[in-house]
Amino acid sequence: MVTISRTAWSARGTPPRGSPESWETTVSDAARVGIVMGSDSDWPVMQAAAEALREFDVAHEADVVSAHRMPEEMLAYGKQAAGRGLSVIIAGAGGAAHLPGMLAAVTPLPVIGVPVPLRTLDGMDSLLSIVQMPAGVPVATVAIGGARNAGLLAVRILAASDPALRARMEEFQASLKESAQAKGDVVRREAGGGRVGF
Ligand code: RP5
């Protein structure tokens, strides 16, 4: 049962038939990863997390759950996340970015924080707000604007107990290696040199 999410995006292709309300419930109940953010202005950054999850066919939901503007709903989201079947929360926020830490305070699930860069301070404020958690309440913080890595880290967390997903992550890593090697080919060709020993 969904009590918080009003707007959700699914990784599961075509939405099931039915009313918008039942679609939302179906999508959110199936989600394994919750992507939340302080404002819709964070979405252009945060959608990279959703894209990464989609690449691995990991069902997810996304919504605005502001720590400062809707604190009761934020706490309810965090408290209900595990019971709703989520396994990982990705939380992005900018400025005084308290959302990831506050969610980590009320859920036993792993929380990945994404510092969203705002116009001022280049995202350093967001980064420091998220990364400097007190002992006992961890938030796995990715780089400023690093939502794609947040999505990939969520996949790795799920893959630790999901052999099929782990195999897909290994394939992905092999493809990264191939593309890095292709970049080396370009540099060596332009530099007029040969292999450098590996
Ligand atoms: C933060 O304030 C949000 O996470 C967002 O990064 C920032 C600005 O929010 P808006 O004023 O664009 O709604 O809480």
Model confidence pLDDT, tens digit, residues 62-81: 999 999 999 999 999 999 99
Cite the beta strand spans of the chain per DSSP E.
33-37, 60-64, 88-94, 111-116, 140-141
C-beta 145 within 6 A of ligand 1:
no
Q: Which pair of structure tokens corresponds to residue 161?
A: 């107990």
C-beta 94 within 6 A of ligand 1:
yes
Q: In ligand 1, which atom is closest to the CA atom of 38?
A: 4
Q: What's the pLDDT score for residue 30?
A: 87
CA of 43 to the centre of ligand 1 (A): 10
CA of 78 to the centre of ligand 1 (A): 19
Q: How confident is the model at residue 143 (pLDDT cuts 50, 70, 90)?
A: very high
Q: What's the pLDDT score for residue 1?
A: 34
pTM: 0.86
Q: How confident is the model at residue 26 (pLDDT cuts 50, 70, 90)?
A: very low
Whether residue 154 has pLDDT greater than 80: yes
What mean pLDDT, rounded, does the chain reach?
89
CA of 10 to the centre of ligand 1 (A): 23
Q: Of the candidates 128, 147, 136, 126, which has an alpha carbon nearest to the alpha carbon of residue 104?
A: 136
